[in-house]
C-alpha cells in the first residue's frame, strides 16, 4: 500500500505541472499551449505505439477511431484550453480547486452506471464542496477588486475552470463507458492510441494557432526556449510519466483509496502556484482547500462503501 500511495503522490506531483505551465508562459495563448503540449504528447505516444502497431492494426476499428478522436478532442484539447485560459485569467488556486471537484462530478454523472448512492446520501459531501467553491470565488473576486484587477476577466477565468471540469467529467464517464462496452485493449494500448489521436487533432490546432493573429503585449515576453522546455516537461512528465505512475497506483491500490489520491493533483498545483507567486495561502484559500478536500474524500468513501453493499 505504501508503494501504491507513493505512485499516486508522484502522479499528482507531475499532473500539478499542468496548472503551473500557463503561469510560466503568460505571453502565449491557451491555443498555443494546448497545441504544443499535445503535438509533443502525440509524438511520444506514436513512438511507444510503433512496436505494438503490427499487432494492434487489425484490432482498431473505425468505431474505435471515432471514439478516440471524440474523447481526445473533449478530454484533452478542449479541457486544456479551458485550464490554460482559467489559470491565466483567474489564477492557479481557483482553477485547480474547481477542477479538483472532478471525483465528485464523475461520481454524480456516472452514478447510474455502477449503482452509486442516491443524491440525498451525498448531501453532506456536496455541501462541503459547494462551501469550498463559494470560499474560493469570494477570495478570488475580493482579491481582484482590492488589487484593481478586472472582475470580468476573473469571472471569465472561473467560467473556464467550470468548462474544464465539465469537459473532463464528460471524458471520464464516456471513456469508461466505451471501454466497458468495447474492452478489447489494455489500459496502456488505449492510452497510447488516445495520445496518437490527440496528437493528430493538435496538429490542426497548431495550424490555427499559427494563422490566427496574436495580440502583441510589450510587457509580456514570448520566450520560445521556455515555451519548448515547459511544454516538453508537461507532455512527457504529466501526460506520459504521470499517467504511468497513476496506472501503477490504480493496479496496486483498492478503488476506495486510489479515487481519493486524485486530490494530490490539486494540492501540488496549489503548492506550485504559491511558490511561484512567493506567498502563503490566504485564509479563504485555506478554507476552500480544507472544505473541497473533505467533501471529495467523503464522497469517494461513501460512494465506494455503498457500491460494495
CA separation (Å) from 282 to 55, 274, 288?
A: 54, 10, 10
Reduced to 3 states (helix: H, G, I; strand: E, B; else coil), residue 70 is: helix
User: Crossing angle for the helix pair 92-99 and 263-276, nearest 10 degrees?
Assistant: 180
Q: What is the pLDDT of residues 163-182, one digit of tens each?
A: 999 998 898 888 888 887 87
Write down the pTM of the prediction. Answer: 0.86
Above 50 in pLDDT, residue 309? no
Task: Look at residues 142, 36, 154, 181 and name the one whose alpha carbon lies nearest to residue 95.
Answer: 154
- The model's pLDDT over 227-277, given as tens digits with 9 standing for 90+, comes to 999 999 999 988 888 888 887 887 776 655 566 677 788 889 999 999 998
Asked if residue 86 has pLDDT above 50, the reply is yes
The CA dihedral of 303, 266, 34, 171, to the nearest 10 degrees, is: 0
The C-alpha atoms of residue 40 and residue 7 are separated, in whole angstroms, by 24
What are 266-302's pLDDT values in tens digits? 889 999 999 998 989 889 889 988 988 888 778 767 7
* Number of H-type helices and E-type strands within the chain: 16, 0
* Mean pLDDT estimate for the chain: 85
Assigned C-alpha cell, 121: 446520501
Cα angle vertex 70, ends 65, 213, to 5°?
120
Quote the pLDDT of residue 254.
Answer: 64
Amino acid at each position: 500500500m505504501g508503494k501504491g500511495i507513493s505512485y499516486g503522490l508522484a502522479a499528482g506531483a507531475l499532473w500539478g505541472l499542468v496548472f503551473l505551465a500557463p503561469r510560466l508562459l503568460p505571453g502565449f495563448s491557451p491555443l498555443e499551449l494546448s497545441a504544443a503540449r499535445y503535438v509533443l504528447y502525440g509524438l511520444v505516444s506514436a513512438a511507444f505505439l510503433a512496436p505494438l502497431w503490427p499487432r494492434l492494426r487489425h484490432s482498431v476499428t473505425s468505431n474505435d477511431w471515432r471514439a478516440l478522436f471524440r474523447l481526445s478532442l473533449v478530454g484533452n484539447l478542449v479541457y486544456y484550453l479551458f485550464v490554460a485560459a482559467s489559470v491565466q485569467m483567474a489564477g492557479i488556486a481557483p482553477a485547480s480547486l474547481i477542477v479538483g471537484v472532478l471525483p465528485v462530478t464523475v461520481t454524480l454523472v456516472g452514478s447510474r452506471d455502477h449503482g452509486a448512492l442516491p443524491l440525498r446520501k451525498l448531501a453532506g459531501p456536496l455541501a462541503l464542496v459547494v462551501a469550498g467553491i463559494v470560499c474560493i470565488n469570494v477570495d478570488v473576486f475580493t482579491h481582484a477588486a482590492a488589487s484593481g484587477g478586472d472582475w470580468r476577466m476573473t469571472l471569465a477565468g472561473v467560467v473556464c475552470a467550470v468548462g474544464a471540469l465539465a469537459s473532463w467529467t464528460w471524458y471520464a464517464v464516456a471513456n469508461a463507458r466505451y471501454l466497458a462496452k468495447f474492452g478489447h485493449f489494455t489500459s496502456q494500448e488505449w492510452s497510447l492510441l488516445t495520445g496518437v489521436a490527440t496528437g493528430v487533432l493538435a496538429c490542426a490546432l497548431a495550424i490555427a494557432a499559427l494563422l490566427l493573429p496574436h495580440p502583441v503585449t510589450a510587457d509580456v515576453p514570448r520566450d520560445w526556449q521556455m515555451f519548448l522546455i515547459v511544454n516538453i516537461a508537461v507532455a512527457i512528465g504529466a501526460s506520459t510519466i504521470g499517467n504511468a505512475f497513476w496506472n501503477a497506483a490504480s493496479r496496486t491500490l483498492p478503488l476506495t483509496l486510489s479515487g481519493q489520491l486524485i486530490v494530490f493533483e490539486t494540492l501540488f498545483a496549489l503548492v506550485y502556484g504559491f511558490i511561484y507567486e512567493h506567498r502563503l495561502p490566504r485564509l479563504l484559500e485555506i478554507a476552500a482547500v480544507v472544505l473541497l478536500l473533505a467533501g471529495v474524500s467523503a464522497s469517494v468513501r461513501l460512494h465506494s462503501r455503498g457500491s460494495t453493499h
